[in-house]
Structure 1
């Protein structure tokens, strides 16, 4: 295992882009995908899982919502750990947890072991806190100003790729059979496939993943390293006089970061609008099986493919949005456009769901996914702009924590309204929430602090 080099001990005087940055990003994308794929793997075959384990559909919904619930309390210590120990250590912790949880689920194949599968799912869910906060930070420390938005989009793409696989793979493997032994056999194949994949990815991270390159990729990261080095030297002097003071100072600084973030009005508006958009996506994804099957009986695999269509279209939207951001830096304008088009997509999905033609549902889902999921990396990058120079891990960590609250709320409300009044009213409720989120987005200031820092630094062309 290679030791993690601490570039803060050096005094870098130049800027350089390393080719291996793409390999580092690829490893992270694989890790993110393997974790995200397990989020929806039960809910997308909810009717089969309820039959095999003899549980209610709400119990299956909780295998998805546990991702949201565990994120809220764990993201703050995880964000602190990212800043204190670096990306390598925290990514290793997350990948090990992801692997262990996957293997526990292998042991859950028995109709009386739903609690075992839930334990494994909970461990995988906790590992998520070491995934969602990473893309913005990894992009910042490995990529230059002209690639940072695209790299962040690719990092988020890993999560979307995993969700796509989570929609696609379980319905292909786990069939709706009257024989519980057949279902158990299918579950065994699925669980072993995930466990083997997460094991390989875990080994790749342990062997190859690095926190940051020897030389910084941009002027802003160079300045950050210099500041970190000065802070470390000062703390070393203070620690010699008072060993406990350095730790207290670091804890106080983390508290001040949180205070600055929660008093940033633009950031707070983005938290609310981003939370609404992503919460709606979580709700639709979690209940997709229950919403679509009443209209299209026996189309379990089609439900998975519809979910896949949502996410794959969103991948295209994410990459295109990242490229446009890198070229134009029009963060607020692109955010508004994507939000308005997400609302339009939601309207189309709502009014075409019961048309009787599943091909139309595919098209409506693709339209919804392209704009709604494509908005995700834009929100990450806009948050980094509004809060610079606060650490991206903390900024995105809070953003995702708020998202989980909205996700739990919207999934619960969506399910209750669906049960009480049907899918049309439930979807209209989500459309109303998106309308409110669009209004909030209008009032977010276009305060591009990170771009201002790049312009002030006037970075020269990096060396390859």
Structure 2
């Protein structure tokens, strides 16, 4: 048990009950239930952040150095892009059993499974360095992609299980931050480590170094998770979490309720359009940048980094705004509209001839488009409460993968057929449609209502 001196107290507490750093028993027979948040929650959250990053950093690992992979392994560009899209394809059928497992077991069990798979896939890539072993690297990438189903739907669940009502949105945004951190590293590290202009022997040595670094990192994290990652605190942190824990969980019934929830279905579509556009740009960024700035391989990676890092800042800021204001629909719609504007600016500055301008437009695009991720998660948790957050976010991410595959394939085809200007304008149109759909969602904040009823 945690010492009471290390316990923060939230929820309803009788006058005269709370003292410095501790809680005394109330003399009243009908004292409201007290909710505690434990300091270890931050360790659990940050272990998850690095675990999530270790998986997502491998998503774009091949695509961002597509020219080097094609040169070294002798494969086609589309085969390289499939190393990114395999993340989306495996997620769609596997998220349902993964959500069921999270619902029936706990965060620790699913996190250990996901971490082991991420580590195993990374080690398979270590043995894929010979030029005729691209298939083994693709197999390792597939194992890592399968492990992703135990990660993407966790942030809202982890936030609800471990954090109080005044921190849950911020905690969710930090959890999503882990995925973005990994994507950022995935954008910037491979172009630095792998020299596309090098000899075959030099590229082989570069691949070997990159794969060993990732495998070592995932191995250390797996040990940390075994030692430090806990399933849940001894006591629920909020009234909403307490009520959620007390309800009997029925996975199929939850699915039925979710797909008949109008607000949730609209959010699925709008969220899918936004994140699908982000996936398309990320997967094909190397090709788009090299079209206007030949030889700017490292810049392509850095621009991807800028997009994601700006999104990380946007995520955290949006989480803080949600915790302070609880204006979920207004925040979601504002960020979405700003994403459309950011995409338009990116589209019309891409060919300006000054790559510094592309960096600046990427900051704006990333801040809002990537910053939207935790906002959508939290809005989904609000309009579907008290359905399990893991199931809610799992379906949300499954729909995202479908949109991601379709949008990426459309974007890739349009880049080759009509050029980047029309391809990017198509993404702008999709985002505008998503903003209109978001405007049609009613602000039905069920989790906030449960928390307010407790306070009343």
- TM-score, normalised to structure 1, is 0.90
Distance (whole Å) between structure 2 residues aligned to residue 72 and residue 227 of structure 1: 27
Alignment partner of 1:310 out of 295, 307, 310? 307
Runs of 4 or more, structure 1, over 4 Å off, are: none
Partner of 2:446: 449
Equivalent residues of 1:79, 1:393 under 8 A apart: yes
Alignment partner of 1:330 out of 327, 331, 334? 327
Equivalent residues of 1:277, 1:437 under 8 A apart: yes
Q: 1:326 Cα deviation (Å)?
A: 0.3
Equivalent residues of 2:276, 2:405 under 8 A apart: yes
Partner of 1:235: none
Q: 1:294 Cα deviation (Å)?
A: 1.6
Distance (whole Å) between structure 2 residues aligned to residue 458 and residue 72 of structure 1: 39
Distance (whole Å) between structure 2 residues aligned to residue 373 and residue 76 of structure 1: 25
1:137 maps onto 2:157 in alignment: yes
1:192 maps onto 2:189 in alignment: no
Q: 1:14 Cα deviation (Å)?
A: 3.4
Distance (whole Å) between structure 2 residues aligned to residue 377 and residue 320 of structure 1: 10
Q: 1:226 Cα deviation (Å)?
A: 3.4
Distance (whole Å) between structure 2 residues aligned to residue 64 and residue 261 of structure 1: 29
Distance (whole Å) between structure 1 residues aligned to residue 363 and residue 370 of structure 2: 10
Alignment partner of 1:59 out of 58, 76, 79? 79
Q: 1:178 Cα deviation (Å)?
A: 4.5
Q: 1:15 Cα deviation (Å)?
A: 1.5
Distance (whole Å) between structure 2 residues aligned to residue 178 and residue 31 of structure 1: 32
- TM-score, normalised to structure 2, is 0.92
List alignment gaps of at least 5 residues for structure 1: 1-11, 229-249, 460-464
Superimposed CA distance per residue, residues 431-452 of structure 1 (whole angstroms, 9 cap, x where no aligned partner): 1111111111110110000000
Distance (whole Å) between structure 1 residues aligned to residue 124 and residue 338 of structure 2: 41
Partner of 2:232: 212
Distance (whole Å) between structure 2 residues aligned to residue 182 and residue 344 of structure 1: 42
SS for the counterpart of 1:39 is coil
Distance (whole Å) between structure 1 residues aligned to residue 314 and residue 115 of structure 2: 27
Q: 1:220 Cα deviation (Å)?
A: 1.8
1:394 maps onto 2:414 in alignment: no
Q: 1:13 Cα deviation (Å)?
A: 5.5
Distance (whole Å) between structure 2 residues aligned to residue 365 and residue 287 of structure 1: 14
1:406 maps onto 2:403 in alignment: yes
The CA RMSD measured in Å over matched residues stands at 1.1
Partner of 1:155: 175
Map residues 251-270 of structure 1 onto 2, 5 A cutoff.
Answer: 253-270=250-267
Superimposed CA distance per residue, residues 181-207 of structure 1 (whole angstroms, 9 cap, x where no aligned partner): 110100000000000000000011111
Distance (whole Å) between structure 2 residues aligned to residue 110 and residue 419 of structure 1: 31
SS for the counterpart of 1:29 is helix
Superimposed CA distance per residue, residues 275-317 of structure 1 (whole angstroms, 9 cap, x where no aligned partner): 0000000000000000110211111111100000000000010
